[in-house]
Amino acid sequence: MKYSSFLLLIIFLIASITTSAQQWRSLTNGKDLSNWERLNGEAKYTLEDGVLVGEAVLNTPNTFLATKEKFSDFILELDFKVDSQLNSGVQIRSESLADYKNYRVHGYQVEFDPSERAWTGGIYDEARRGWLYTMDENPKGKKALKQNEWNKLRIEAKGNSIRSWVNGVPTANILDDLTSTGFIALQVHDIKGDKSKDGIKVMWKDMRIMTENIDKYLTPDKKEIPQYNYISNTLTEREKSNGWKLLWDGRTTDGWKSAKADNFPAKGWKIDNGILKVLKSTGAEATNGGDIVTTKKYKDFELKFEFLITEGANSGVKYFVDPGMNKGEGSAIGCEYQILDDEKHPDAKLGVNGNRTAASLYDLIPPVAKRFNGVGMWNNGKIVVKGNHVEHWLNGFKTVEYERNNQMWRALVAYSKYKNWPNFGELSEGNILLQDHGDEVWFRSIKIHEL
């Protein structure tokens, strides 16, 4: 009886080990690259003793070695080593289509970035929206990469969730619903015409993937790093638990009104399939539907919003607004996160040192380290207010940081268009405003967290 029980236990353990081993399979066949295809560029790829080597080549665009198989939900693990001068990464859920930029590879990329920027493990939307997770709000993740050594990468993609780890350190966490399936690809970034970089390498090995019954192997979310939600007009469970609320519900005008009346404008604004649109008119301030403001005032907060501008457009998001301050023509008065087509709108060349360009504190402080996704593309804005400390962010980059209610602030105001407005920007609380500047601009995913 004891022998029989012991035998059954051994059989059970062997079966468990076998089942676990069968969860993983290699991305390479161990012999050649016949289950992969090279796309877009002419960088070299070779398989040498189990190590897949990518070699940079002069004057060729970004090159990708893509799996012929497509994947949706999976856990991917691999080891990588990248030359300190080379940018690289792993594409997931990616595509190469004739009707999208002539077969340009596009999709999610988990970054290899050995530069001083240190965004290895961040998530970049290749050839589409740009950075989705920059690592600037994940200082521990920025230190995870071991320069000139083998590093371990883990990626978990399940439904709308994509997360990454480098050497066991959590590096990125996003929710996005743009692409649910696609190939995996290994990138060798272009090196332009820099002859000193010709032949530098990035290497991958021990690439294995799990696609069946992955739920029980997913890493529990310990909320160690920020989570970015790119699903329109929604709140994640984490956002809800942290106190985030939708400032616009995506369907109605609830919570908003005209800046100069008690009702929502009867014209000039349109709700269209989850998008709040300022309609095109004359290009002048508040001459059509006019600005809209929140019905509630806010003090300390973090505000996130997505915006899309049409060619030559001008708009803005204002805060610390007192709708009663300007009862005449023009826009309501408040601190403004500028929204602008810097290339086509003349306001970009006015002001001082670019302080009227996109993501600036309008007419006061110019932006730095800005990355704009482009006209006709969605961009992610953020405004953070903690007492007198204020920050502007654009697509994961901090563009403006300042302190108000002090001597320097008042000096800035004295040399701006706001100099004749008493105590400009010094309110302890105020309304949030979306500007009608007579150009078509779209908004969505407007959400707020009161601090």
- What's the average model confidence in pLDDT over 178-188? 98
Asked if 136 and 218 sit in the same domain, the reply is: yes
Distances (CA, A) of 305 to 97, 235, 442, 448: 30, 13, 10, 9
**pLDDT (0 to 100) of residue 326:** 76
pLDDT of 9 strictly over 60: no
pLDDT at 22 (0 to 100): 57
Give yes or no: residues 52 and 178 share one domain: yes
12 assigned to some structural domain: no
Domain that holds residue 273: 237-450
Q: Where are the alpha helices (DSSP H) in 250-333?
A: none
pTM of the model: 0.89
Residue 10 has pLDDT above 70, yes or no: no
- Please check the confidence at residue 12 and state whether its pLDDT lies above 80: no
In-domain check, residue 1: no
Q: What is the pLDDT of residue 14?
A: 46
| 218/224 Cα distance (integer angstroms) | 16
Of the residues 190, 212, 229, which one is the last residue of a structural domain?
229
162 pairs with which residues across the strands?
157, 174
Indicate whether 155 and 33 sit together in one domain.
Answer: yes
Instruction: Please identify, among 229, 261, 277, the residue that sits at the C-terminal boundary of a domain.
Output: 229
- 119 burial via Cβ count (<10 Å: 0-12, 13-18, 19+): buried
Give the percent of the chain with pLDDT over 90: 90
Range list of H helices, 210-303: 237-241
Total of domains in the chain:
2
Tell me: pLDDT of 16 over 70.
no
**Above pLDDT 70, what percent of the chain?**
95
289 or 22, which is more confident? 289
Mean pLDDT in residue range 272-294: 94
Q: What is the mean pLDDT of residues 193-221?
A: 96
Q: Tell me: the pLDDT tens digits for 353-397?
A: 999 999 999 999 999 988 999 999 999 999 999 999 999 999 999
In angstroms, rounded to a whole number, what is the distance separating the alpha carbons of residues 119 and 138? 9
Tokens of residue 412, six digits: 């800035």
Q: Are residues 288 and 350 in the same domain?
A: yes
In a domain, 403, yes or no: yes
Q: Tell me whether residue 222 is in a domain.
A: yes
On whether residue 17 sits in a domain, the answer given is no
Alpha-helix residue ranges (DSSP H) falling in 366-425:
407-414
Residue with tokens 């500028």: 338
Q: Does residue 341 lie within any of the structural domains?
A: yes
Report the pLDDT value the prediction gives residue 17, as an integer from 0 to 100. 47
Q: Looking at the domain assignment, is residue 9 inside a domain?
A: no
Token pair of 163, please?
A: 């997360």
Mean predicted confidence (pLDDT) in 401-427: 96
Using an 8 Å Cβ cutoff, are 127 and 41 in contact?
no
| Residue 378 sits in the same domain as residue 400 | yes
pLDDT for position 21:
52
Least-confidence region, from 140-144, 174-178, 323-327: 323-327
For residues 197 and 270, state if they share a domain. no
Per-residue confidence (pLDDT) for residue 11, from 0 to 100? 46
Q: Is the domain of 285 the same as that of 420? A: yes
Does 433 have pLDDT greater than 90? yes
Q: Are residues 199 and 268 in the same domain?
A: no
When pLDDT is cut at 50, 70 and 90, the band that residue 4 belongs to is low
Instruction: Write down the pLDDT at residue 30.
Output: 87
Summarize pLDDT for 84-121 with one digit per residue, the tens. 999 999 999 999 999 999 999 999 999 999 999 999 99
Domain boundary among 187, 203, 229: 229
Question: Does residue 394 lie within any of the structural domains?
Answer: yes
Give 334's DSSP letter.
S
What is the average pLDDT across 166-175?
A: 98
What spatial distance separates the first Cα and last Cα of the chain, rounded to whole Å?
A: 66
- What sign does the CA torsion over 382, 385, 391, 392 have? positive
| 334 in the same domain as 194 | no
Q: For residues 80 and 189, state if they share a domain.
A: yes
Same domain as 224, residue 250: no
Residue 269 and residue 191 share a domain = no
Instruction: Please give the mean pLDDT across all residues of the chain.
Output: 94
Residues 10-15 have a mean pLDDT of: 46
CATH assignment of the domain containing 261: 2.60.120.560
Contact predicate 107/182, CB 8 Å: yes
- Residue 212, pLDDT above cutoff 90: yes
Residues 55-93 pLDDT 10s: 999 999 999 999 999 999 999 999 999 999 999 999 999
